[in-house]
Amino acid sequence: MSWEKLRVVGSLLVALTALACGEDVKSNGQPPADAGPTDTGGSTGDGAPDAPPPGDTRPCEGSTLTTGSGMLMHGGLQYNYLVHVPPSYDGTKRTPLVLNWHGRNSIPMEQQLFTQTDPLSDEEGFIVVYPGSPDKSWNGGTCCPPSGDAGLPEHDDVGFARAIVTEISGKACIDSKRVYSMGMSNGGFMSHRLACEAADMFAAVESVAGQMGIPNCQPSRPISVLHHHGTGDMSIPYGVSMFSAEGLGVADMMARWGTRNGCTKGPDTTFQMGTVTCQTWSQCSAGVLVTLCSAEGAEHCWPGASFCPGGKPYATEISASRDGWAFLKQFVLP
């Protein structure tokens, strides 16, 4: 689960990112148009419309939020974050918000570079925030213990997630019905935990290479969940492992989400290309969806990334950023 290799290539990636953003956004960490699905609603969902549904339509009077960094105290601990605001944002229209959680031993800049969500934010017009843990580890339940500064107490990261959404919403014209979570590894655990404990604030979540880290998941409402996992992942295994608070492998964990959400159909194969197969549980309560995308032999990596610090990378049949957003944006809070 170490992300130290990212630091070795970080400075080079910064330069490459700046160049790519200026010349060709779609080539920046994303598969080409013919390499895989670009609409998860049609490939890993069940035919949802391309246009996102309406959410919070209250008027806004303006905004002070700009691309940059910030600090937030919560529970006596200091958290940091990066925020990216798309150029189309003018502070007067309600805008979706995505929290993108880093893995253990990582930092917001590494998650930003690794997932290449900023160019997608520019294309699609959502604000993305990369939260930073005070000790490079999130309290996702079974994963993970503090890994940076020794001696920090167990932190309330679900409370912090609520706090940072409130913080950003106070500075920007945020659509309160279209707040989403995505995360890698330990950050993927956070997405599952937020689906369980903050479904009143998050409309849908995406997890990459995470697991269900808490034993008694009881969301306040049905919630859509998308999960990506490589079958060759040795860090967070695809099968049953000590990281599962429910004692389930990844496939059974997602089947449990289907049951939890009252889904009566599936799992049906909704996408298959190369090593990647996506299965969806549908006809769920409140119109939610549950989708699992498995990549045969892939290891601990972000689907669609151009490099993989955790081993053998995914092929580019699918992108956790682009296809993840296509899935998330279908859903709004009731």
Question: Do residues 261 and 196 make contact, with C-beta atoms less than 8 angstroms apart?
Answer: no
Share of the chain above pLDDT 90, in %: 72
Alpha helices (H) along 125-268: 157-171, 186-197, 250-260
Beta bridge pairs of residue 124: none
pLDDT at residue 18 is higher than 70: no
Token pair in block for residue 210: 């995470």
Total H helices, total E strands in the chain:
8, 10
- With beta carbons less than 8 A apart as the criterion, state whether 173 and 60 touch: yes
Q: In the β-sheet with 68-74, what is the strand arrangement from edge to edge?
A: 68-74, 77-84, 127-132, 95-101, 174-184, 204-208, 224-230, 290-295, 276-282, 265-273
Sort strands 265-273 and 127-132 into parallel, antiparallel or unpaired.
Answer: unpaired
Residue matched to tokens 């990066």: 82
* CA–CA gap between residue 100 and residue 29 (Å, rounded): 16
The 3-class secondary structure across 75-88, one letter per residue, is: CCEEEEEEEECCCC
Kindly tell me if the per-residue pLDDT of 116 is higher than 50: yes
Q: What proportion of the chain, given as a percentage, has pLDDT over 70?
A: 80
Which tokens hold the place of 42? 């049609």
**Residue closest to 201 by CA, chosen among 191, 209, 210:** 191
Report the predicted TM-score, pTM, of the whole model to 2 decimal places: 0.85
* Helix or strand (DSSP H, E) at 9: helix 4-23
| Element containing residue 18 per DSSP (H, E) | helix 4-23
Confidence label for 21 from pLDDT (cuts 50, 70 and 90): very low
Region 305-325: mean pLDDT is 83
Tokens at 27, concatenated: 């080539």
Unique residue bearing structure tokens 């913080």: 167
- At residue 95, the 3 state secondary structure works out as strand
24: pLDDT confidence band, cut at 50, 70 and 90?
very low
Pairwise pLDDT comparison (30 vs 265), residue with the higher score: 265
Sign of the alpha-carbon torsion through 102, 301, 238, 219: positive
Distance set, CA 258 to CA 19, 148, 215, 222, 247 (Å): 42, 36, 16, 10, 16
Reported as a single tens digit per residue, the pLDDT across 255-289 is 999 999 999 999 999 999 999 999 999 999 999 99
Strands 276-282 and 290-295: antiparallel
Bridge partners of residue 16, in order along the sequence = none
For helices 4-23 and 117-124, give the axis angle rounded to 10 degrees. Answer: 30
Token duo for residue 298: 């892939």
- Taking alpha carbons only, the member of 208, 201, 245 closest to residue 223 is 201
Q: CB neighbours (10 Å) of residue 99?
A: 25
Q: Domains in the chain, please, with CATH? A: 4-23+63-328 (3.40.50.1820)
